[in-house]
Structure 1
Amino acid sequence: MSLLNTTARTIALCFLVALMEGLDLQAAGIAAQGMSNAFALDKLHMSWVFSAGIFGLLPGAFVGGWLADRIGRKRVLMASVALFGLFSLFTALAWNFNSLLLARCLTGVGLGAALPNLIALTSEAAGPRLRGTAVSLMYCGVPLGAALAAVIGIADLSGGWQSVFYVGGVVPLLIVPLLGRYLPESQQFRHAQEAAPISVAKGLFGKGAALPTALIWLSYFFTLMVVYILINWLPSLLIGQGFSGRDASWVMLALQMGAAIGTLMLGWVMDRLPAWALSALIYLGILGSLTALGLVNSVSGMLVAGFVAGFFATGGQCVLYALAPHFYPASIRATGVGSAVAIGRLGAMSGPLVAGKMLALGTGTAGVMLASAPGIFIAAAAMFYLSIRRNNSLPQ
């Protein structure tokens, strides 16, 4: 098998998994109104449903990355896809609030374990020169999968709110045997197995890695906080502003289409723009779109604001995903990426909880969106420094 064919096959299969990951991540937001009605849940209870899934992402990301550096990226990816597929089905069959929380948490464990392996497999198959493009091609599956969830919401299928979880459960289980048959294991992982193992602490904080690790964690934390407020709360916020459920689904579709295009375009330009320009472009775009989402009153305006928010928030996160592997050698790469994703999930988990609390206090949509501004400035500064340090990163 030629190197080009191996790389293309790896990106294609990882894209399929990312597609289903995006669908499952968006599913709770799309189904929120139906779940709320079915189980008589208020906004605070729905915050816990959203955050339960995100809570599962945290240990899943760290353990998934750690295991991948020891037993292989392919094995851990297959197990994680099977896990989130099974518990997405379980979500559709939940019978009360507690079973719903358990299902979302264990779905999150599988989703969390999948992402660092998708990033590691794709970046290692492509190599340092094409890493940004390859990770962007793979990761655009996440917003496209979320857009598919929005389409299911727009279609209002006869299965009710459970429909999106049936799709998010069955399709991943069908993908698992494809991974077993066609996905090649990372050659960099195989070569790293022949070298002396590196401890987690030394790999993340030794030999000049401490500052990049801390900045990666900061940027992931605050950027994912914004992304998950949008994913989980935006449909409900729009309905609270007087838009219909169908209008909200269209805005979510626009957001995810913007995310897919932003992922591809920003990944492509990350090697072509100066670091300061890329950081400023991404985070000014996030600030502007969040302000618009809090202030615009028309459906057309919301569609544009949603598209721009997805373009810069998710697209900017993809740039961070492409940056992180540059700072870790192959023997610790999945652990490094997994730890960053895990820290990012703390931001993702806190975002919906903070938004729910602020709404309960009556701050409204504008207050929720504008409260994200300080974290966005911190993430912008961290990303700026990481972009400059990329060319002087650790061995690849």
Structure 2
Amino acid sequence: MSVQPLGQGLTKGIVQVGELFDNMPVTRQHWKAGLALFFSFVIEAWEMMIVILASASIGAEFALDGAQIGSLIGSIFLGMIPGCLVWGKLVDKFGRKKSMVYSLALYGVISLLSAFSVNYEMLWWTRFLSGVGLSGVLVATFPYFEELLPVKVRGKATVYLASGWPVGFLIAIGVTYLFMDLGWRWIIGVSSLAGLWFLVVAAFVPESPYWLVAKGREAEAKDVVRRLSEGKMNEEMDQAQLVVEEAKKGSFLEIFKGKFLRLTVLQIIINFCFSWGYWALSSWMPVLLAKKGLSTPQGLGFMALTALFMFPGYMASSYLTGKYGRKKVMTSFVLFAAIGGFGFASAETMTEMYVWNFVLSFFSLGAWGVWDTWMAELYPTEIRGVSYSLGVTGQRAANAIAPSVIGAMLAANTSFLATVSFISTFLVITFIASLLLKETEGEILH
């Protein structure tokens, strides 16, 4: 269908929703939504780290061996595998906002229940179910935020959203430190209260206008755009009939067909290998540090500094992705992260460990910020939820498997050098696969 120019890059008549975001100003509404979703991502990191940090206390109470602790660490991620697939459908069917709200509330209830576990089996299954509950937040947060942002700031702002990971990491360390004398039940119970954040998301984050248009709710979508722009796009609203790119709604089969097949295979490889390269190291970091002679307080201090090292990585990648694009920043950061990983593996002194860990943390988390942004931009609105959920499922599969594999290597007395080098090899695979993806910097969402 032919269309006529309307000015400022828009068209008269049929208009892609994404075109409205091409010239949208950044307003206080974006900041409110951004802060609400930022802390939602903080909660994800907090929840994933808390059992790792409390594992010594849990292991002592239930007399667990290394294999059982590794399985417990992986239980939440095993729950996220079916959880992400289910929530991926729900996010596309019922909306980004409802999925986020219900997911946070469900996580809070189940996680709190896990603090009252009477045995290892009950704790394992309640952590598994808390993973199922939290999966809606995992699947929705980044695509949701990107669907609310002007094109010109989408990359930078979403990378800053990703910096919620070290914040959650630090909060988990802080809660563990404050309540460790009271035991793991207090640590997990206090952490579960974060589920109340669903009230903030419900109050301050509007539904995605992309999703609303895809569901035929154009009037509501226009109201959201007016709200986000604080009334500065009323003229565009009056003259636009909004559409999104057509695709079979919420279909997992769709992302394995035609033009999406190659893309889907690549993003699964990247998600699995990148997550393995990060989580396999993080999940056993306290034990690996103990092999280097660090006490538990020293290990917590080292991990806290590791989290602080992540912030400049996010800041650098946020600036650079807007300047050079997703692909160049992602690939170069992953490559340097791999180098940092091999350097950390061969470190012999404490100074060398800190230096190489800074390199690893700086570049790996900076790359994660770009990847969380890039992955959500690769598919159209109708299948963005299921495509993102499949990618996150790949991450969680790696998260679930890695602790057991690395635990087995440590049980076999594999050296620090061999263990960390094995983990870093997955970053090399991530680098190669990333080279084969298309650039999306500056493009509207479809």
Per the normalisation by structure 1, the TM-score is 0.91
Whole-angstrom CA distance in 2 between matches of 1:128 and 1:213 = 24
Which of 142, 146, 159 aligns to 1:119? It is 142
Whole-angstrom CA distance in 2 between matches of 1:187 and 1:302 = 47
**2:393 maps to 1:336:** no
Matches within 5 A, 1:217-232: 217-232=268-283
Whole-angstrom CA distance in 1 between matches of 2:281 and 2:151 = 32
Contact persistence 1:151–1:249 (CA under 8 A): no
Whole-angstrom CA distance in 2 between matches of 1:18 and 1:361 = 36
Which residue in 2 is equivalent to 1:4? 27
Which residue in 2 is equivalent to 1:358? 409
Shift of 1:220: 0.8
Contact persistence 2:95–2:211 (CA under 8 A): yes
The root-mean-square deviation of aligned C-alpha atoms, in Å, is 2.5
Moved more, 286-295 or 19-28: 286-295
**2:56 maps to 1:33:** yes
Which residue in 1 is equivalent to 2:371? 320
Whole-angstrom CA distance in 1 between matches of 2:132 and 2:366 = 23
Whole-angstrom CA distance in 2 between matches of 1:257 and 1:368 = 24
Moved more, 158-167 or 81-90: 158-167
Contact persistence 2:325–2:439 (CA under 8 A): no
1:102-139 Cα shifts (integer Å, max 9, x gaps): 12211211232212210111110114432222221222
Shift of 1:85: 1.7
Which of 261, 265, 272 aligns to 1:210? It is 261
Contact persistence 1:123–1:131 (CA under 8 A): yes
Whole-angstrom CA distance in 1 between matches of 2:127 and 2:341 = 27
Structure whose alpha-carbon radius of gyration is higher: 2
Which residue in 2 is equivalent to 1:82? 105
Moved more, 100-109 or 280-289: 280-289
Instruction: Rate the CA distance shift 1:215–1:198 in 2: closer, same or farther, 3 A.
Output: same
Whole-angstrom CA distance in 1 between matches of 2:445 and 2:192 = 39
Shift of 1:331: 1.6
Whole-angstrom CA distance in 2 between matches of 1:57 and 1:308 = 30
User: Which residue identity lines up with residue 307 of structure 2 in the other structure?
Assistant: Q
Which residue in 2 is equivalent to 1:268? 319
Which residue in 2 is equivalent to 1:253? 304
Contact persistence 1:325–1:333 (CA under 8 A): yes
Contact persistence 1:280–1:380 (CA under 8 A): yes
Shift of 1:151: 2.4
User: Which residue identity lines up with residue 68 of structure 2 in the other structure?
Assistant: H
Which of 207, 212, 221 aligns to 1:185? It is 207
Matches within 5 A, 1:33-182: 33-155=56-178, 157-173=180-196, 175-182=197-204
Shift of 1:202: 5.4
Gap regions ≥5 residues in structure 1: none
Whole-angstrom CA distance in 2 between matches of 1:149 and 1:142 = 11
Whole-angstrom CA distance in 1 between matches of 2:340 and 2:102 = 37
SS in 1 for 2:147: helix
Instruction: Rate the CA distance shift 1:345–1:181 in 2: closer, same or farther, 3 A.
Output: same
Gap regions ≥5 residues in structure 2: 1-24, 217-242
Matches within 5 A, 1:292-331: 292-331=343-382
Which residue in 2 is equivalent to 1:390? 440
Instruction: Rate the CA distance shift 1:385–1:127 in 2: closer, same or farther, 3 A.
Output: farther
Contact persistence 1:222–1:347 (CA under 8 A): yes
Moved more, 144-153 or 185-194: 144-153
User: Which residue identity lines up with residue 286 of structure 1 in the other structure?
Assistant: A
Instruction: Rate the CA distance shift 1:115–1:394 in 2: closer, same or farther, 3 A.
Output: same
Whole-angstrom CA distance in 2 between matches of 1:260 and 1:60 = 29
User: Which residue identity lines up with residue 211 of structure 1 in the other structure?
Assistant: R
Whole-angstrom CA distance in 1 between matches of 2:83 and 2:254 = 19
SS in 2 for 1:363: coil
Contact persistence 2:326–2:439 (CA under 8 A): no
Whole-angstrom CA distance in 1 between matches of 2:175 and 2:267 = 34
Which residue in 1 is equivalent to 2:226? none
Shift of 1:258: 2.3
**2:398 maps to 1:347:** yes
Moved more, 87-96 or 347-356: 87-96
Whole-angstrom CA distance in 1 between matches of 2:69 and 2:355 = 27
1:371-390 Cα shifts (integer Å, max 9, x gaps): 1243222211121222x443
Shift of 1:303: 3.7
Whole-angstrom CA distance in 2 between matches of 1:182 and 1:135 = 17
Instruction: Rate the CA distance shift 1:198–1:381 in 2: closer, same or farther, 3 A.
Output: same
Contact persistence 2:155–2:441 (CA under 8 A): no
Percent of residue pairs identical: 22
Instruction: Rate the CA distance shift 1:277–1:178 in 2: closer, same or farther, 3 A.
Output: closer
Which residue in 1 is equivalent to 2:339? 288
Q: How many equivalent residue pairs?
A: 394
Instruction: Rate the CA distance shift 1:342–1:143 in 2: closer, same or farther, 3 A.
Output: same
1:295-324 Cα shifts (integer Å, max 9, x gaps): 335445434443333222232222111111
Bigger proportion of residues as helix: 1
Shift of 1:393: 7.8
Shift of 1:8: 1.6
User: Which residue identity lines up with residue 103 of structure 2 in the other structure?
Assistant: S
Whole-angstrom CA distance in 1 between matches of 2:208 and 2:303 = 35
